[in-house]
Amino acid sequence: MITHISHRYTDQEALEALLGDGKLLDAVSASSSILIQIFSADTSARHLQTVSALVSARLPKATVVGATTVGEVYEGRLLTASTVLGITCFENSTLSVMAMSCRDADARQVGAELGTRISRCSGNIAGVILLATPLSIDAGALLQGIESTAGNFPVFGGGAGDYAAMTHSLVCAGDQQYSQGAVAVVLAGDELHIESRTYLGWRPLSRSMRVTGVDDQLLVKTVDGKPAFDVYRRYLNIPNDENFFLNALEFPFLLERSGELLARVPIAASRDGALKFIADIQEGEHFRIGYGDMDLIINDALHIHRSLADFSPQAIFLYTCGCRRFLMQNDVDLETRPFEDLAPTFGFYTYGEFFSLSNPSLLNSTMVAVGLREGEPKANPNRTPAPQADPQAQSSDPYAHKHTRVVSRLMRFIDAVTAELEASNREITKLSRTDRLTQLVNRIQLDHVLEENLQQALRHATPFSIILMDLDHFKQVNDAHGHLVGDEVLVSTGKILTACTRIADTVGRWGGEEFLIIVPHADLNGAAHLAEKLRTEIEAHAFPPVGKITASFGITNFVPGDDVVKMIMRADVALYAAKHGGRNRVELAST
C-alpha cells in the first residue's frame, strides 16, 4: 500500500507539525521507503536546502529530491509562487537516488553514466523519476545517453523551471543542488505497479513549413530558407524582445516524428533571427505552428482519468508543461483537478516533460500523468469515480469557462480555412508546374529541377545528364490528321517516356513536340543508353491513326563550369546534329 500526503510549505513550524503528525508517523513506521519531492517557485539554493534539511532531520531515512518550477500541483490544483512537498510512503518498495552534475561534462555522457547506474540497481525496477535542468543542459542528449545504457524501464518526470525568467533553475537530491545536472530516482519492488500516460492536446494552426538550417539540433537558424524568427513575426506579430518566450509559449512548432505529434517551444530568439529550443529539432523536418485546443485537452484528460481509474492508483504524480498553464489560465484545474478524485495528486509545471514506455523522450507542451500502486487493484470507497462527462458542462453558471469554447471554435475555424487554402494552393501549384495537355511537368518546373540538379553537381560533384528529344516530321502529322490527332500523339509519347524512365528521372514537355528528360546520377553513357531505349520504344509504337513515328535525341552531361543555359545549348546542338544526320537517332554532345 502506498500512502501519499501533500503539504503546502508556509513556514518551518507548520512543516514540523506535519512531520510530527500521528497519521504521517504511522505511515512512516509501516513503510520500507519514503520519497519526498519538493517543488518550489523559489529558485534559490538556500531555500531548497533549508526545506530539504528540515525534512531530512526529521525523516533521516527518506529519499529527498526536488526541482524549481513554473507552477505547483497540490491536491490536483494549481498553486503559484509556492513550495509544495509530496511525502510518499511505500510499504514494500525500494528507492535508489542518483544525481550528477553536467557542469563540466557532456550531457550524453552524463546520461550514459546515469543509465549504467540505473541498470545496476537491484530489485524489479518499475519506473524511474527523472528531474533535470533543461535551461542549462541538452536534456535530449541526456535522455539519449540514458537510453544507450539503461534497461527498458519507464522514465517520467520534468525539467526544472523558473517562472519564465529563463535564466536559472535547480534540481536537488538531499543537500546537493544542481543548476546544471540531473537527478534520477529508481522505484523498484515486486508489488509496485506504475501506469504512465501522456497527451498533447495541441492542434496545427498554420501551413506546413520546413526547417532548413539547424545548429546542434537546439538552435533553428532558418525555416524555408529565411530566419526562423520570421515565422513568429509574420504570422503572430510577436516581437524579438525580452518577452519573446512568454509571447511564443502558446504557439510551439508541431512536428511529426515516428508517427507521433511532438511540440517544440522556442525559449529565445537571437538577433540574427535564430530560435533556441530545449528539445531537439532536426534539419529537414516539416512543422506547423500549433495552438492548444482546450476541448481536445479536456477530452484527452478525461480519457486518461478513466484509464487510471481502471488502474486504481494509490498516488498520482503530474508533470505538466508550463505552456498549458499559460494557455488555460484559470481553467487549468479542469485538466488536473479530476485526478485528485482518483488518488492524492501532486506534481509541478515544467520546462519539458520526460516520458517513455521504452525509449525516453523529451516532450514539450504535454502532460505526463503517472499512477502508482502497490499490490493488486482495490476499490477505494473514499474516492469518487473518474468523471464521465465534460467538467465544463457541470457548472451551473452559463458563462463559466465559455472563453475556452470560443477560442477552441475559433481555432477550428482557422484550421478549416487553412486546410482549404492549402488544398487550393496544392492545386494551383500543380497547375503551374504541369503541362495541361500531356500532364507532364512543364517548362517552368523543368527549369527548377535543372537548377536543383546543377546546384547538387556544383556542391557535391554529383553527375547528371539531360536528354532533349524531338518527334520527327511532327508537322506532317498535324497537316495530315489535324491537331487533335497530333495532341493524342503527344500524350501517348509522354506516357512512353514516363513508362521507360525511373522515378528519380524528370520527364517534361519542353515545348511543341520537344520533350526534356533530366537524368540524375547518370553520366553521358548512361543517358545515351536510356535515350536509345526511348528511341526504340517510340519507333515500335503504333500511333492510331498515324501509324509509326520516330524521334531524334540530343544528349549532354554536366561538366565543371556549366550553367543551365550552356547545358541546354549543347543538348540542342546535339539534337540538331541528329536531325540533320538522318533523324531517328541519338547524338551525344561534344564537351
The band of 388, judged by pLDDT with boundaries at 50, 70 and 90, is: very low
**Domain residue ranges of the chain, discontinuous segments joined by +:** 2-200+295-394, 202-292, 395-432, 443-588
Type of residue numbered 522: A
Give the pLDDT confidence score for residue 545 in this predicted structure. Answer: 95
Q: What is the DSSP string of 511-533?
A: ETTEEEEEEET--HHHHHHHHHH
Sequence-separated (6 or more) residues with CB below 8 Å from residue 220 = 211, 213, 214, 228, 266, 274, 275, 277, 281
- Residue 152 dihedral angles phi and psi, to the nearest 5°: -85, 75
Give the pLDDT confidence score for residue 391 in this predicted structure. Answer: 47
The region of weakest confidence among 430-439, 471-480, 513-522 is: 430-439
Type of residue numbered 402: K
Residue 394 has pLDDT above 70, yes or no: no
Give the pLDDT confidence score for residue 296 in this predicted structure. Answer: 83
Sequence-separated (6 or more) residues with CB below 8 Å from residue 19 = 54, 55, 58, 59
- Mean of the per-residue pLDDT values for the chain? 90
Grid coordinates representing 506?
524528370
pLDDT in tens, 228-280: 999 999 888 899 998 999 889 889 999 988 888 899 999 999 999 999 998 88
Grid coordinates representing 313?
492508483
- For cell 530558407, name the residue: 225
Q: What H or E segment, with its residue span, contains residue 421?
A: helix 402-433
Grid coordinates representing 509?
514537355
Grid coordinates representing 279?
528539445
Q: Are 114 and 182 in contact (CB under 8 A)?
A: yes
Alpha-carbon distance of 31 to 92, in angstroms, equals 7
Alpha-carbon distance of 218 to 141, in angstroms, equals 10
Q: Reduce the DSSP state of residue 46 to 3 states and report it.
A: helix
Distances (CA, A) of 13 to 10, 51, 346, 394: 8, 11, 22, 39
Residue 559 has pLDDT above 70, yes or no: yes
CATH fold of 443-588 reads Alpha-Beta Plaits (3.30.70)
- For cell 516539416, name the residue: 286
Strand ranges inside 323-417, DSSP E:
345-350, 353-356, 361-363, 367-374
Q: Is the model more confident about 293 or about 400?
A: 293
Alpha-carbon distance of 361 to 140, in angstroms, equals 7
Q: Are 575 and 557 in contact (CB under 8 A)?
A: no
Nearest to 318 by CA among 146, 125, 40, 75: 75
- For cell 553537381, name the residue: 457
Residue 399 has pLDDT above 50, yes or no: no
Residue 69 has pLDDT above 70, yes or no: yes
Alpha-carbon distance of 442 to 436, in angstroms, equals 8
Q: Is the model more confident about 408 or about 182?
A: 182
Q: Are 465 and 562 in contact (CB under 8 A)?
A: no
pLDDT in tens, 406-431: 566 666 667 767 777 878 887 887 77
Give the pLDDT confidence score for residue 258 in this predicted structure. Answer: 81
Alpha-carbon distance of 327 to 293, in angstroms, equals 9
The band of 57, judged by pLDDT with boundaries at 50, 70 and 90, is: very high
Cis peptide before 545 (omega within 30 of 0): yes
As a CATH number, domain 202-292 is: 2.40.10
pLDDT in tens, 561-577: 999 999 999 999 999 99
Nearest to 127 by CA among 195, 201, 44, 220: 195
Give alpha helix (H) positions in 257-319. Answer: 294-311
Residue 89 has pLDDT above 60, yes or no: yes
pTM, entire model? 0.72
First to last CA, the chain: 83
Residue 513 has pLDDT above 70, yes or no: yes
Mean pLDDT of the region 141-149: 92
DSSP code, position 441 = B
Q: What H or E segment, with its residue span, contains residue 177?
A: strand 176-178
Number of neighbours of residue 401 by Cβ within 10 angstroms = 19
pLDDT in tens, 455-482: 999 988 999 999 999 999 999 999 999 9
Percent of the chain surpassing pLDDT 70: 93
Q: What H or E segment, with its residue span, contains residue 52?
A: helix 45-58
pLDDT in tens, 102-127: 986 789 999 999 999 999 998 899 99
Sequence-separated (6 or more) residues with CB below 8 Å from residue 574 = 468, 553, 554, 555, 556, 587, 588, 589
Measured CA angle at 31 (ends 25, 37), to 5 deg? 80
Grid coordinates representing 271?
538577433
Nearest to 530 by CA among 439, 454, 464, 434: 464
The band of 165, judged by pLDDT with boundaries at 50, 70 and 90, is: confident
Out of 513, 514, 537, 539, which one is annotated catalytic? 513
Q: Is 340 a catalytic residue?
A: no
Task: Please name every residue paired with 157 in a beta bridge, in sequence order, or none if there are none.
Answer: 130, 354
The region of weakest confidence among 283-292, 295-304, 485-494 is: 295-304
DSSP code, position 380 = -
Alpha-carbon distance of 146 to 119, in angstroms, equals 10
Give the pLDDT confidence score for residue 381 in this predicted structure. Answer: 53
The band of 389, judged by pLDDT with boundaries at 50, 70 and 90, is: very low
